[in-house]
Amino acid sequence: MSAKIIDGNAVADEIKKRVSSDAAELTATGSKPHLTAVQIGENPASKIYTNMQAKACESVGIEYELLNLPAEISQDDLLAKISELNASAETTGIILQMPLPAQIDARKVQIAISPVKDVEGMHPENMGRLFYGGGVVAPCTPMAAVELLKRTRPDLAGAETVVVGHSEIVGKPIAMILLQSPDAAPTVTLCHIATKDLASHTRRADVLIVAAGVSQARWLSYRRRKKAGEDVRVPDLSPLISAEMIKPGAVVIDVAINRIPKGFDENGEPVKNEKGKNAMQTVGDVDFESAARIAGAITPVPGGVGPVTVAMLLANTVATAKAFG
């Protein structure tokens, strides 16, 4: 069997066209969507992401503002700035860039963002609405995963669905979104890395959604401990889900984005590329090559859930603009 490759880029383009049309309508009525990204200090990785946000917003007619605040800003000063943005008649959506400096409590700041302007859907009020059938917005990555799933398998009623990963930003919201229909919801099992005999669950899944980020976590732990001078073994960075753990014909949605080394040398250091830097690769939680021979449909990494997540951020930004207006 050769799986259908679920094209996240194509789906993202469709969503962006709809968002662009909605943004144009709002702008015509004087309610132009305006997303303000709050960045604390300088972070190269975050800068790449904010540049992507700016380009994506521009492409669909959303105003984008990057508010760069000093790295030494206090918690109280940051909360005061968030309060200003909440009250702003111009800003219709707010996104808080991660990571934050050590002196900042990320959870408190996230909660301080008005739920009406919370484009990431991470405010407790927005998360809580998922239990009651959904509100204005929901977390972007779970929305993206479910969007790809429903386009691939529209009829989910009763389907055995296994979600691997129980984080508050991906795994749990995915389960809640899937269970919203009163009569057409799948049967959802929520697993995680501590689940005993994980394969016994995944093998029976008609739908398998994986969002654990195991190899990324192992790599970061190894790097941190080795830097601290600990005597550690080279980590096993193999995919969490092998082909043998997948039911033939299942739909597989791989949410994870693991940025890990391609291999290690005899000293336990990542092998280098032609520029002398660590040779890195981006992979998911699923062994894509072998899984694609078993599954009925599967998302690639990259090119699957990632592009649709960005599109969902834009859709949420338009949704908050409508609600704010």
The tens digit of pLDDT for each residue in 122-137 reads 999 999 998 888 788 9
Architecture of the domain delimited by 138-306? 3-Layer(aba) Sandwich (3.40)
H helices of the chain, in order, are 8-28, 44-60, 75-87, 106-112, 124-129, 140-152, 171-178, 198-202, 214-227, 288-291, 305-324
SS3 74: coil
Summarize pLDDT for 223-265 with one digit per residue, the tens. 999 999 999 999 999 999 999 999 999 999 999 999 999 999 9
Judged against a pLDDT cut of 70, whether residue 294 lies above it is answered with yes
Cα–Cα distance list, 198 to 186, 194, 210, 241, 245 (Å): 19, 8, 12, 9, 8
Judged against a pLDDT cut of 70, whether residue 325 lies above it is answered with no
- Contact (Cβ atoms closer than 8 angstroms) between residue 312 and residue 177: no
Tokens of 134: 């959904």
Summarize pLDDT for 134-167 with one digit per residue, the tens. 788 999 999 999 999 999 999 999 999 999 999 9
- Contact (Cβ atoms closer than 8 angstroms) between residue 313 and residue 306: no
Please state which CATH class domain 31-123 belongs to.
alpha beta
Q: Where are the domains of the chain?
A: 31-123, 138-306
Rounded to the nearest 5 percent, the helix, strand and coil shares of the chain are 40, 15, 40
